[in-house]
Amino acid sequence: MNTVSQPLLRLENITKRFKELIAVNGVCLDVPLGEKLVIIGPSGSGKSTLLRSINLLEKIDEGSIQFEGREVGYVMRNGTRHLDHSQAISALRAEIGMVFQHFHLFPHMTVLGNVMEGPLTVQRKPAAEARAIAVDMLVKVGLPDKSDVFPATLSGGQKQRVAIARALAMRPKLMLFDEPTSALDPELVGEVFDAIHTLADEGMTMVIVTHHMGFARELADRVVFMESGNFLAQGTPAEVFGSGQDNERIRGFLNRLL
Amino acid sequence: MALLFLCSLAGSCFAEDYDQLFRASNDLMAQGDLAGAVTLLNQVPAPVAGGDAGAFVSSRMQVARIHAAENDLDRATASCQEVLKLFPDNNEARNFVAALDALRKPRWHTILADILRFLPSLAKGTLMTLLLVLCTMLVSPLGGLLIALGRISTLRPVSGLCWFIIWFFRGTPLLLQLFFIYYGLPAFGITLPPLTAAVIGLGLNYSAYLGEIIRGAIQSIDHGQMEAAKAIGMSYGQAMRRIIIPQTYKRLMPPVGNEFIALIKDTALVSTIAMVELMRSADQLFNTYFNITALALAAVIYLVLTTIFTFIFEKIEYRAGIYEHR
C-alpha cells in the first residue's frame, strides 16, 4: 500500500441510528495527515455524532473506521458487530485527542493534575516526565501560571485551553474539537481560537465541529456542510462560503448565521 | 406512716411508768399532732436524773424519727445526739445519725459515686462498641463499593446478584440477620464466635445500604467525566478509580455519615448475640443495681461517640470538597 496517499483517517459508510432517527447516514470521509477539516451545519444534523464516533464514544451501526490504514474499533462475532476489546479502544483513543463543548475538566484535580493525568495514568510515564510534558502543554496554551489552581477558579476560556492542553499531553496524531467555543462567552472565544490556531500552525491534523463561520473560513483547508446525517457539500472555504455557493439550503443556513 | 407505726410498736414494750406516756404520744401522732407528740416524748427524763434508760432512748429516737419524717434533719440529729451523749455506743442512734448525714449530702455526690462505680465496666463495653463500629466502617464501604459497581455493571448475572443482596439485607431486620448468623448458621455446621458473627452481620447489612448510596453518587457524576477520561485513553477501571470515584467522596459523606451514626447505635443490637458491648454493659449494671444512672451514663457515652464521629465526618466532607471552594 502506498503510505503517502493513505489518509490518516478514513471513514467509510458510517451510519448511526438512535432508535428511529438516523443521525449519520452512510457518510464517507478521508482526512489526510495535516488537514484541518471543519464540519458545519444546523443543530441536530449529526456533526457531533459523527465526530464522537471517530474515537468510539458513539458505537456506529454500520461502516468502518480506519486510522493509519488499520481498521479500528469493531470486530465481527457470530455475524454481528461488536466494539473491540477495551484495550484496543483505549489505545486508539490515546492517539486521538478530543476537546468537548463543556470542557469536562476533572474538577478534583489541579490544572497541572488534569494535564498530567493522561501521560501518568494511561501512558504510565514517571511523574516527573508527566509533569514536564504537562508544563510544556500549559505553556503552549498560555496558562503556565495556572498550574496549581483547581478548574473551578478558571474562566470558561481558560478551562477550554486547559482541556486542549490535556488532550495534547497525550501527543495525539489527530485532534477532534466538538464545538469548542459554543459554551463560552463571546469575549472568551478568541483565546480558544488562538490556541487552536497555534496548533494548526504546527501541522496538527484536526477535525472541528463549530458554529463560528468566520473561524471555519480562516482555519479550514476543507469545509463539510452536514444536514440530516448527510454531507450536502464539501470544498475549500471559498467554495462553500463563497458567492459561488448555489445550494439553497446552505445559503439559507449561512445567511442566518452571518 | 410505716415508720410511725413501727415506733408505736416499739413504744408499747417499755416500763409501766412510761407506757401511758408512749400511748398518749401515739394517739397524738395518729391525730396528726406531731409537735404535741414530740413535747410529750421529750418529757421522758434522762436516766442520770433517775429515769429509765430504755424509755429515754426510745423516746429520743422516736422524736428523731418524727423530725426526720418531717424532713427536719437538724432536730433529728440533735435528738440522736442526746442519746449519744449518755450512750456513745448506741448503734441505733449512730446509724441514724449516719443516715441523716447521708441525706444531708447533695444528690450529685451519690450520682458521682455511681458513675465512678459504673464507669470501668461501661468503658470496657464502649471499647467493644468502638471495635465493632470501626470494623464495620472498614468492611462496609468496600462491600458497598463492590455492590455499587456490580449494580451498574452491564453483566446481567453480576448486577442481578448485587440487586438481590441489597434486596435481602435491606428488606429484613438487622436483628433477624444477626440471629440467623449467630444462632441459625450452627444448624448448617457453621459456628461463629460472637464478634465474627456481629461484624459479618453488621458488615453485610451496611454494605447493602452503602452500596445504594455509592451507586447513587457514582451515577450522579456528570457523564462527561467518564467520556473525558475515556477520550484520553483510560480504561473503565482507570476512569472509575482516578476520575469518577474520587469525585463521589464529597457527595458520599453526608449520607454515609448518617449511616455510620446509625451504625454506632445499631451495634446495641449485637448485645442479643452474647456480645458485651456498651448497651449490654449498661443493661447488666441496671439489672444488678436497679440504678438508672447506668443507663443514663450509657446514653451520654453514645452521644459522645456520635458527636465525635459527626465532627470527623464534617471535617472529611469539607476536605473532600476542597477543590470546589474558590
Residue range B33-70, pLDDT digits in tens: 888 889 888 888 888 766 678 888 999 999 999 998 88
CB distance from A93 to chain B under 8 Å?
yes
Q: Would you call B48 helix, strand, or coil by DSSP?
A: helix
- A149 and chain B in contact, CB less than 8 A: no
The pLDDT of residue B102 is 77
Q: In the 8-state DSSP scheme, what is residue A244?
A: T
- Domain segments of chain B: what residues? 2-104, 108-324
Residues of chain A scoring pLDDT < 70: 1-5, 258
Q: Is A118 on the interface with B (CB under 8 A)?
A: yes
Q: Is A106 on the interface with B (CB under 8 A)?
A: yes
Q: Does A2 map to a domain?
A: no
**Which pLDDT belongs to residue B308?**
95
Query: Is B2 a residue whose pLDDT tops 50?
Result: no
In this prediction, residue B11 has a pLDDT band, given cuts at 50, 70 and 90, of: very low
Q: Assign B106 a pLDDT band (cuts: 50, 70, 90).
A: confident
DSSP bridge pairs for B297? none
pLDDT score, position B292 = 85
Which residues in chain B have Cβ-Cβ distances shorter than 8 Å to A90? 230, 233-235
**Chain B residue nearest residue A148, CA to CA:** B323
Q: Is A90 on the interface with B (CB under 8 A)?
A: yes
Asked whether residue A82 is domain-assigned, the answer is yes
As a CATH number, domain B2-104 is 1.25.40.10
How far is it between the farthest Cα atoms of chain B? 115
Work out how many CB contacts closer than 8 A connect A with B: 75
Q: Which CATH number fits domain B108-324: 3.40.930.10, 1.10.3720.10, 2.60.40.10, 3.40.190.10?
A: 1.10.3720.10
Query: What residue of A is the nearest CA neighbor of B244?
Result: A106
Per CB-CB distance under 8 Å, the chain B contacts of A167 are 231-232
3-state secondary structure of A147: coil
Judge whether B2-104 and B108-324 match in fold: no
- Tell if the CB–CB gap between B235 and A90 is shorter than 8 Å: yes
What domain count does chain A have? Answer: 1
pLDDT of res. A199? 94
CB contact set of A250 (below 8 Å; sequence gap of 6+): A225, A232, A233, A240
For the beta carbon of residue B223, count every other beta carbon within 10 angstroms: 9
H or E stretch covering B228: helix B223-231
Bridge partners (DSSP) of residue A30 are: A10
Task: Identify the pLDDT of residue B143.
Answer: 96
- Examine residue A58 and state whether it is found in any structural domain, yes or no: yes
Write down the number of H helices and E strands in chain A: 9, 12
Please give the ipTM for the structure prediction. 0.92
- Selected for mutation to probe chain A from B218, B230, B232, B247 (highest A CB count within 10 Å) is B232
pLDDT(B13) > 60:
no
Rounded distance, CA A236 to CA A224, Å? 9
The range of the structural domain enclosing residue A46 comes to 9-257
Which of A49, A53, A106, A160 to mutate against chain B (most B CBs within 10 Å)? Answer: A106
pLDDT band at B225 (very low <50, low <70, confident <90, very high): very high
Measured between beta carbons, the chain B residues lying within 8 angstroms of A175 are: none
Backbone angles phi, psi at A176, to 5 degrees: -110, 130
CATH of the domain at A60: 3.40.50.300
Of B96-100, B124-128, B249-253, the one with minimum mean pLDDT is: B96-100
**Is the minimum CB–CB distance between B9 and chain A shorter than 8 Å?**
no
Average pLDDT over residues B165-193: 94
- Is B230–A90 a contact, with Cβ atoms under 8 angstroms apart? yes
- Helix, strand and coil in chain B, % to nearest 5: 85, 0, 15
Q: Averaged over B226-234, what is the pLDDT?
A: 96
Is the per-residue pLDDT at B16 higher than 70?
no
Summarize the confidence of residues B134-147 as an average pLDDT: 96
3-state secondary structure of B207: helix
Contact (Cβ atoms closer than 8 angstroms) between residue B90 and residue B83 = yes
Average pLDDT, chain A: 92
- Give pLDDT, residue A1: 46
DSSP string, B140-180: HHHHHHHHHHHHT-S-HHHHHHHHHHHHHHHHS-HHHHHHI
pLDDT over 70 at B10, yes or no: no
Q: Does A41 reside within a domain?
A: yes
* Phi and psi angles of residue A108, each rounded to the nearest 5 degrees, phi first: -90, 0
> CB-CB: which of A94, A106, A153 is closest to B233?
A94
pLDDT digits (tens, 9 = 90+) for A76-127: 888 888 888 888 899 999 999 999 999 999 999 999 999 999 999 999 999 9
User: Among A106, A166, A170, whose Cβ lies nearest the Cβ of B225?
Assistant: A106
CA angle A105, A111, A113 (to 5 degrees): 90
- Residue B12, pLDDT score: 46
What pLDDT is stored for residue B99 in this prediction? 83
A114-147 confidence digits (pLDDT tens)? 999 999 999 999 999 999 999 999 999 999 999 9
Set of chain A residues whose Cβ sits within 8 Å of the Cβ of B242: 117, 121
User: What average pLDDT does the segment B181-185 reach?
Assistant: 93
Q: What residues are paired with A14 via a beta bridge?
A: A27
Residue A214 lies in a domain: yes
Confidence band for B257, pLDDT divided at 50, 70 and 90? very high
